[in-house]
Structure 1
Amino acid sequence: MKLNEGFLDSMKEAFALFRSNDPAAAAEIVKRAMRGERTDAAVAQADPHDDTTTTRLADLLQPRRNVHTRQTEGDVQDCGHFSLRRYADAAGQRDYKVYVPGQYRSDPLPLIVMLHGCTQDADDFAAGTRMNALAETHGFIVAYPTQPQGANQSKCWNWFRPADQQRDRGEPSLIAGITREVMANYNVDPKRVFVAGLSAGGAMAAIVAQTYPDLYAAAGIHSGLPVGCAHDLPSALAAMRGGKAKSKARNPVRADIHHAQAPQCPLIVFHGDADATVHPANANELIREFSASETSPARASSGDSRARKHTVRHMTSRAGVDAELWIIHGAPHAWAGGSSSGSYTDPSGPDASAEMVRFFLEHPRRP
């Protein structure tokens, strides 16, 4: 099914309302356009279940590229091996890149799976997060699954689709399969396998961590969204603005995932409180199951004098699972402390990559 120009004009109108803090009006235009009703822009002819419609709409939801305000100091040079691979299973196929540090010999190493944000790819995300340099310093392997444009027009992970929110289905199956393939090809410590992501990649990291607690020991979520908070594009718009689904009954995937298990995977969450793309309320929702048993009060910290001020909370769930929430004051929708050689980074810090690695290495998977 081919989208006409009038439908895209309607979506642009909806996105403009979304950007101007009128999510209700934006969602109404999306719903009317999907039903084929006339909007102020045109007559819509889109099928809401059509994959092309979904990817085109997602294109309108991609975050705006941030302008870097300053260059970072020289990064540690990676001296390992960065190779391109391809994985396929019943859900489809995905390319991915693997970084193996120069110190890799025979001892089992940790593995961190990195899920990029919209419009990014493995090379861009590796450059922006500097995770390969940290792999050299700390001795771990990094895998970067890549979302192709054929799966989503903006190369976003499809975190808002029910078919991609479940174990052994869709994109979670592909990401878990890539993880297992890297574990089979290299000497990886199965107790120290982790997943992290930015924005749409952060939302997908939350999904795979929740659906595969037997595979991932901990997760890092930067500027992401909680599991099952959306089941289509209108609800995705609402979630990105900080709203919640009107009824869990309308989203059986969320209800099934949420009630099937308490949090089993330690989480470290980063979010800028000036994020205009994904509302910071999503960070609080991600750690909601931990907040009832907070182990230490929130504290303000500036850390490095060049870093943005931030507040860090340390929590533990009733089951004894740890979580950290980092709210970075004045930060936009970007990877904190990243390198300006990659997109969607905020070089001023704090260093989200280093803190994630620290948190991961402190949390091997429990028996």
Structure 2
Amino acid sequence: MCRCTGYRPILAAARAMPAGAGPGMNGAVRPAADPLPDGATFTTASYSNAAGTRSYKLYVPTNRRNGQPLPLVVMLHGCTQSPDDFAAGTRMNRLAEEHGCLVVYPGQPSSANAQKCWNWFNPADQRRDGGEPSLIAGITRQVMRDHPVDPDRVYIAGLSAGGAAAAIMGAAYPDLYAAVGVHSGLPQGAARDLPSAFAAMRQGGGPVEPRSGAPVPTIVFHGDRDTTVHPCNGDDVVAQSKAGTAGPQATVEHGQVPGGHGYSRRLHTDASGHVLCEQWTIRGAGHAWAGGSPAGSYTDPRGPDASREMLRFFLDNPRRRPSVP
């Protein structure tokens, strides 16, 4: 658990989450995004319910495995980003083509948040079947209805505010999402309003709420030089993911990306050997998607490849259904 001190006052008049800073945001011309393979589609649709309407982009690969049900990955962008920007930066569509997955990118409009942040700090957007969680879950179910999706291989991931929203979705909908990815994000319940959100981002949110029910396998990435979302929030996501589990165990390995960042990878399992959480701490990295493409914002091409590792983790962790006696 992270114990952070030195509270810095937050201006109550602040109206938007900070966008942060990262590679690809300095005004330089970005390279083109990966071209769409022949036969693949990347289309726009929308979903509406009582909480509002959200548009989304859906990637359908050419590799569809003869009509067999496919895994589905839900990707939640960070502040100031868009579905197209996030897809370009993470290159998740390229990996989906390799592995035969659907990928959906819900979009947060500026009408819902001036910086297009998911409102993870708002209590109305932290619970099941209300606010933004109901919209994200509704998009997920709409894609599952309209396409052949394996219900045991539905996953959700996000960056920064999107990572915090992904943590909320995993806790609120453990029956829908088999595993969660949180990159440079915060745990569920880290804040209850805008001032506490700024405090959590700058220094950690203190004790976190344990999740109820069965744990959802979670993979966490965080740079140890992140000055937008304090790295101890990554530790708190890990602590939350394994809270209440008897006999958790951990193994750690260290690595180095050639010409890039060093990292530690810590694998947490329960007493039966089932994965609870995988934590990547990236040495020298800031607030950016690790291993991403400069075609998108908030990416750090110096690795490790968060998209590839997340998808590997997801596909290794389909939903565990109770055995029938």
Q: 2:20 matched to 1:66?
A: no
List runs of 5+ in structure 2 lacking aligned partners.
none
Contact residue 71 and residue 347 of structure 1 kept, 8 A: no
CA-CA distance at 1:103 after TM superposition = 2.0
The separation in 2 between residues aligned to 1:81 and 1:120, in whole angstroms, is: 21
Where is the strand percentage greater, Structure 1 or Structure 2?
Answer: 2
CA-CA distance at 1:242 after TM superposition = 2.5
Of 228, 232, 243, the match for 1:281:
232
Higher relative CO (CA 8 A, sep ≥ 6), structure 1 or 2?
Answer: 2
| 1:365 corresponding residue in structure 2 | 319
Of 179, 191, 205, the match for 1:218:
179
Q: Cα gap change, 1:97/1:238 in structure 2, threshold over 3 Å: closer, same or farther?
A: same
CA-CA distance at 1:298 after TM superposition = 2.2
Q: Helix, strand or coil: the match of 1:201?
A: helix
Q: Helix, strand or coil: the match of 1:341?
A: coil
CA-CA distance at 1:102 after TM superposition = 1.0
Contact residue 24 and residue 30 of structure 2 kept, 8 A: no
CA-CA distance at 1:299 after TM superposition = 2.2
TM-score (norm 2): 0.88
| 2:190 corresponding residue in structure 1 | 229
| 1:162 corresponding residue in structure 2 | 123
Where is the helix percentage greater, Structure 1 or Structure 2?
Answer: 1
Q: Cα gap change, 1:71/1:62 in structure 2, threshold over 3 Å: closer, same or farther?
A: closer
CA-CA distance at 1:237 after TM superposition = 1.2
The separation in 1 between residues aligned to 2:282 and 2:62, in whole angstroms, is: 33
The separation in 1 between residues aligned to 2:104 and 2:33, in whole angstroms, is: 20
CA-CA distance at 1:236 after TM superposition = 0.6
| 2:299 corresponding residue in structure 1 | 345
The separation in 1 between residues aligned to 2:112 and 2:31, in whole angstroms, is: 36
Q: Write out per-residue CA displacement over residues 127-178 of structure 1, whole angstroms, 9 at most, x where no aligned residue.
A: 0000011111110000000000000000000000000000000000000000
Q: Tell me how large the CA RMSD over aligned residues is.
A: 2.6
Over the matched positions of the two proteins, sequence identity in percent amounts to 52
Of 47, 71, 91, the match for 2:51:
91
Amino acid at match of 1:274: R
| 2:140 corresponding residue in structure 1 | 179
Contact residue 124 and residue 342 of structure 1 kept, 8 A: yes
Amino acid at match of 1:272: G
Q: 2:79 matched to 1:118?
A: yes
| 1:44 corresponding residue in structure 2 | none
Q: 2:42 matched to 1:82?
A: yes
List runs of 5+ in structure 1 lacking aligned partners.
1-20, 34-55, 249-253
| 2:7 corresponding residue in structure 1 | 24
The separation in 2 between residues aligned to 1:73 and 1:300, in whole angstroms, is: 32
Q: Helix, strand or coil: the match of 2:198?
A: helix
| 2:154 corresponding residue in structure 1 | 193
Of 301, 307, 316, the match for 2:255:
301
CA-CA distance at 1:57 after TM superposition = 1.8
| 1:150 corresponding residue in structure 2 | 111
